[in-house]
């Protein structure tokens, strides 16, 4: 009798333990480390390598698009090729080469992301996912000999820019949402531009059925009215908020995204302070991202 009771208690204990682990399992808020333009709080995992290629074409419409340029497919606006390594369970390091679509080109990026918290099911102490991302970007393109241009560098410091971003995300049912407070600082800016700029971004993922998701992201840079007026008067340039819309297709081997965005450039260092193309004028573009993950090493246990 005592033995039977002991086995019953042991079974109940194991069942409760398993149920607790199941109820408190971690939640993957987004499927990959980026949406269209925005970073997500996801990391790739210790010992993993993520190979990522993002390609932005030219304008679909407007004066630089249309059938004469095959709706932008004739042009490669910007290209980013990146390698990200999971250096720890919650820490990623990355290197990338970016073509660049504006005056600053031949860009090299070194980045890092640390996942501070990961959302867990039915765990009030982990209600959301939280990460911080930072990078250093160096432009290797030649110096512009004319003064007061976006690439009128004097030294190495003028060629650098940095991004510091907090990523706050939560999955509610099947819908994922996030906020991306972002700070961009540049070593050089023309006289009526700002070296440092704050932007508030956000992203949403909506499942469409099967292994297809709809992605949307948006950033609002907080640029002064005086700076906007100076660009409009001196250079006939108007700035627009970057808006991305895309479709994410998940496969067993890789993740493919079809992107549409008015942001010509791929890096936050560039598209936050320098998006000068508008959805309303047809100045948005096709793009795609392919992400493939590999295992470099496994912990010996």
- Mean pLDDT lowest for which of 11-15, 67-71, 156-160, 223-227? 11-15
More confident residue, 152 or 111: 111
Tokens representing 209?
């059925």
Q: What percentage of the chain reaches a pLDDT higher than 90?
A: 62
What pTM value is reported for the model? 0.85
What are the tens digits of pLDDT across the range 216-243?
A: 999 999 999 999 999 999 889 999 999 9
More confident residue, 173 or 14: 173
Residue 19 placed within a domain? no
Residue 22 placed within a domain? no
Domain of residue 234, residue span: 31-295
pLDDT for position 72: 65
Residue 168 placed within a domain? yes
CATH of the domain at 231: 2.40.160.40
Residue 169 placed within a domain? yes
More confident residue, 299 or 287: 287
pLDDT band at 18 (very low <50, low <70, confident <90, very high): very low
Distance CA 132, CA 164 (A): 7
What are the tens digits of pLDDT across the range 107-133?
A: 999 999 999 999 998 888 889 999 999
pLDDT for position 16: 38
Tell me how far apart the terminal alpha carbons of the chain are, to the nearest angstrom.
40
Quote the number of domains for the chain. Answer: 1
- Mapped to the 3 state alphabet, what secondary structure does 225-269 carry? HHHHHHHHHHHCCCCCCCEEEEEEEECCCEEEEEEEECCCCCCHH
Q: How many Cα atoms sit within 13 Å of 55 on the Cβ side?
A: 12
SS3 of residue 284 by DSSP: coil
Q: Across the chain, what does the average pLDDT equal?
A: 87
More confident residue, 271 or 124: 271
Distance CA 150, CA 276 (A): 14
Residue 13 placed within a domain? no
Distance CA 221, CA 16 (A): 49
- Mean pLDDT lowest for which of 69-73, 82-86, 169-173, 180-184? 69-73
Exposure b/e, 153-181, CB count within 10 A at least 16 = b: beeeebbbbbbebebbbbbeeeebbbebe
pLDDT for position 75: 80
For the four alpha carbons of 131, 158, 186 and 51, in that order, the dihedral sign comes to negative
pLDDT for position 7: 35
pLDDT for position 301: 61
What are the tens digits of pLDDT across the range 41-59?
A: 999 999 999 999 999 988 8
Residue 23 placed within a domain? no
Residue 25 placed within a domain? no
Residue 280 placed within a domain? yes
What are the tens digits of pLDDT across the range 57-103?
A: 888 777 776 787 777 676 888 999 999 999 999 999 999 999 988 88
- Mean pLDDT lowest for which of 115-119, 150-154, 161-165? 150-154
**Strand duo 160-172 + 76-88: pairing:** unpaired
């Amino acid at each position: 009798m005592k033995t039977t009771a002991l086995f019953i208690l042991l079974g109940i204990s194991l069942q409760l333990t398993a149920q607790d682990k199941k109820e408190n399992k971690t939640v993957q808020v987004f499927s990959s480390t980026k949406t269209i333009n925005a970073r997500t709080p996801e990391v790739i995992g210790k010992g993993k390598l993520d190979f990522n290629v993002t390609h932005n074409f030219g304008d679909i419409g407007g004066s630089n698009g249309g059938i004469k340029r095959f709706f932008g497919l004739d042009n490669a606006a910007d290209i980013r090729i990146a390698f990200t390594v999971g250096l720890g369970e919650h820490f990623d390091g990355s290197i990338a080469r970016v073509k660049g679509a504006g005056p600053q080109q031949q860009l090299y990026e070194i980045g890092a992301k640390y996942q501070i918290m990961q959302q867990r099911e039915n765990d009030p102490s982990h209600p959301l996912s939280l990460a911080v991302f930072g990078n250093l970007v160096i432009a290797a393109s030649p110096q512009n000999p004319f003064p007061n241009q976006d690439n009128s560098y004097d030294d190495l410091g003028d060629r650098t820019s940095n991004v510091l971003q907090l990523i706050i995300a939560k999955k509610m049912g099947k819908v994922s949402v996030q906020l991306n407070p972002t700070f961009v600082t540049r070593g050089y800016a023309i006289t009526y531009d700002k070296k440092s700029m704050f932007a508030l971004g956000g992203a949403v993922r909506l499942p469409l059925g099967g292994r297809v998701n709809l992605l949307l992201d948006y950033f609002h840079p907080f640029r002064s009215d005086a700076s906007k007026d100076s660009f409009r008067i001196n250079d006939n340039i108007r700035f627009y908020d970057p808006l991305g819309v895309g479709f994410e297709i998940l496969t067993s081997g890789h993740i493919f995204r079809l992107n549409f965005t008015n942001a010509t450039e791929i890096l936050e260092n560039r598209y936050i302070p320098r998006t000068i193309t508008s959805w309303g004028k047809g100045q948005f573009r096709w793009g795609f991202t392919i992400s493939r993950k590999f295992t470099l090493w496994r912990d010996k246990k």
